[in-house]
Structure 1
Amino acid sequence: MTQLHNSINMLMHSHTNRIGRAKFGIVSALDYKNGLVKVRLQPDNCETGWICDAAISVGEATIYSPSPVGTHVFVDTAHGDGDNYVVVSRVFDSTTPPQTFTSLNNQPVSVGQFGIKIGNIELCIDKTGIKIISDIEITGNVTVSGDVKASGISLSSHTHSGVKAGTDSTSPPQ
């Protein structure tokens, strides 16, 4: 009877260990073309196979930035299946803390703000508006319903001196 009890306990323990649980991990390999990563699950340091990386949106409107090797991530399983993990999100840690933004007085984004930073390029959105620190290339028409200012000069209210009255006009900008 003791052998039967021990065998049942061993089977139950084996089955329980197969149930997947949410875990933290470190990205160990990246296949950015297919949106896949390998992750070393912590604290065991065992590596997953290729699993889906986290994305904000996929399909026609894709918002995705591949998780670099060494990034700390949070992974979970579908329906507790320990063989099918997926990256749920990336997490800040001591090696990758929140970045600071020049447009936010060298502070990280806070509640009510949204920021994207890649190198020295920044896009910040909050209730006061949108701030972009970057060169911008636009292909297509630009329509503006308000004033446009360049280096503090208003497009709608600036004047030119030395222009003759009547039908004469200034030459195009050089």
Structure 2
Amino acid sequence: MAIGAGESIVRYPFSRRRMLGWLGAATALPLAAGCGSAPANATIYPVRFTDAEWRKRLTADQYYILRKAGTERPGSSPLNTEHRKGTFVCAADDNPLFSSATKFESGTGWPSFWKPLPGAVGVSTDRLLGYARTEVHCNRCGGHLGHVFDDGPPPTGKRYCMNGDAMKFRPTA
């Protein structure tokens, strides 16, 4: 279409392409803001080290799970078959987490417990997979341990599904 004498081009501040881009960004930002497990990391814990110090103190697998909220392969932990009496402690700071009396076979491939020791763990909301899950972390160092679900056995009905590499076992002497 030609523009005649005395006519001017009207420029709209928004093109359709620009508008669709802004709408996409406006939709993505709230989703991105809700991802991850920042609440556990935002708290100041009694046991603290720099990232470099954590890397020196932990194995590569422990660091990945405890400090980066990773997950081990199901069925890979020797703690799955640990049935002696004792205490499961945090691999990062030796904080006692679970009694062997609360361990049960969940069939999931990860060590599972129906109750932590009093004051041992904290929880936060994890949206890393795009939906809300309850993350479990060590109350002393903030290390990621796993997640808790509402499909466990009585008396609590909870299943604390923990990464074996996030813990060590201390048998009762």
TM range (shorter): under 0.3
Q: Which has the higher strand share?
A: 1
Larger Rg: 1
Q: Which has the higher helix share?
A: 2
TM-score (norm 2): 0.26
TM-score (norm 1): 0.26
